[in-house]
Amino acid sequence: MDHLRDPIFILSSARSGSTLLRYIVDTHPAICCPPELNLGSVCEGLYWAAYDTVARVANVSTDDARADVASAEVRRVVSGLMETYKTAKGKQIWCEKTPKNLLYHEVLSTIFPDARFLCLYRNCLDVVHSCIEFCQHTPMTELDPYFQKYPDDQITAMIGYWTDRAIMLLDCERFNPGRCFRIKYEDLVAQPAEALEPMFKFLGVSWDPRLLDSVFTEPHDEGDGDPKISKARTINQNSVGAGSAISVDRVPHDLLKQTNFILEQLGYPAVETFSAEAIH
């Protein structure tokens, strides 16, 4: 397999550090990672368009063969777009990092059978804390179904969102053995060199710790993503543990049990209920 031709997708929930990881990956001399392109939904829409046009008139006799034709057409279109971009950037590999791509991980793994996935996790309550801060200024439409499901408690809604996304990430790892690399936000900010060396090895490219000195000085294309990163100058871990004071006393027991089960699988401490004064 020629890793220098295989695309990369950063998959995560929102508010998990994907923009930071995008900046780091985009700093590598072999990889370009543009702002959020929503390629998951693009591929989904293009697939059905191709299925009912190009694949319909192809000389094939089975549904599976028609699906293969549609997938190949989407791969041709999207790869052509991204190949033009990476060539203009002087890079060899392209990467995409839209958090909503997680909803389409099966589509992406089918369209790009040699793609590799960076599965980025972050502690549940820290994601909730970041969502609360972000929602004060900018709506997060991906949370709307959860606010509708849990209209009486935004903390429950956000924990439900994190839990569903973590399940999707774990499903992606199971669905794509050998094609996924798990990385935690906490490791990325606490020990970036130690976390990134095996990640870049997985991607089949060289690693030079001096890359970390250029993350915020190298130019990166502007677009959707965490707007705060444009003001960052160093990788810091100030936000790790910020959600520890959030009360989960109103979170339904079944959801909390499911969340804690996933946290345990990922090596995070369990969320516990308490009555102390807390964010809510």
pLDDT digits (tens, 9 = 90+) for 123-161: 999 999 999 999 988 889 999 999 999 999 999 999 999
- 274 pLDDT exceeds 80? no
pLDDT in the model for residue 4? 53
pLDDT in the model for residue 227? 80
Say which DSSP state 251 is in. Answer: S
Say which DSSP state 121 is in. Answer: E
User: 225: pLDDT confidence band, cut at 50, 70 and 90?
Assistant: confident
Give the CA-trace dihedral at 216, 211, 101, 140, to 10 degrees.
-20
Q: Give the residue carrying structure tokens 């979170």.
A: 251
- 277 pLDDT exceeds 50? no
User: 234: pLDDT confidence band, cut at 50, 70 and 90?
Assistant: very high
pLDDT in the model for residue 279? 42
Cβ atoms within 10 Å, residue 86: 20
The percent of residues in the chain predicted with pLDDT above 70, rounded, is 96
pLDDT in the model for residue 54? 97
Range 25-54 average pLDDT: 97
Distance of CA 265 to the CA centre of its chain: 19
Token pair for residue 24?
């780091």
**Buried/exposed code over 155-179 (b: 16+ C-beta within 10 A; e: otherwise):** bbbbbbbbbbbbebbbebbeebeeb
The structure's pTM equals 0.94
Each residue's pLDDT tens digit, 51-82: 999 999 999 999 999 999 999 999 999 999 99
Q: Which fold has domain 3-266?
A: Rossmann fold (3.40.50)
Taking the domains of the chain in order of start, what are their residue ranges? Answer: 3-266
- 101 pLDDT exceeds 80? yes
Could you please report the per-residue DSSP string of 204-238? T----GGGGGSTTTS-----SS-GGGGG--S---T
- 242 pLDDT exceeds 80? yes
- Average pLDDT of the chain is 93
**CA-based torsion, 140, 230, 246, 276: positive or negative:** negative
Each residue's pLDDT tens digit, 166-217: 999 999 999 999 999 999 999 999 999 999 999 999 999 999 999 999 999 9
CA neighbours within 13 Å on the CB side: how many for 264? 8
**CA-based torsion, 92, 97, 100, 105: positive or negative:** positive
pLDDT in the model for residue 73? 97
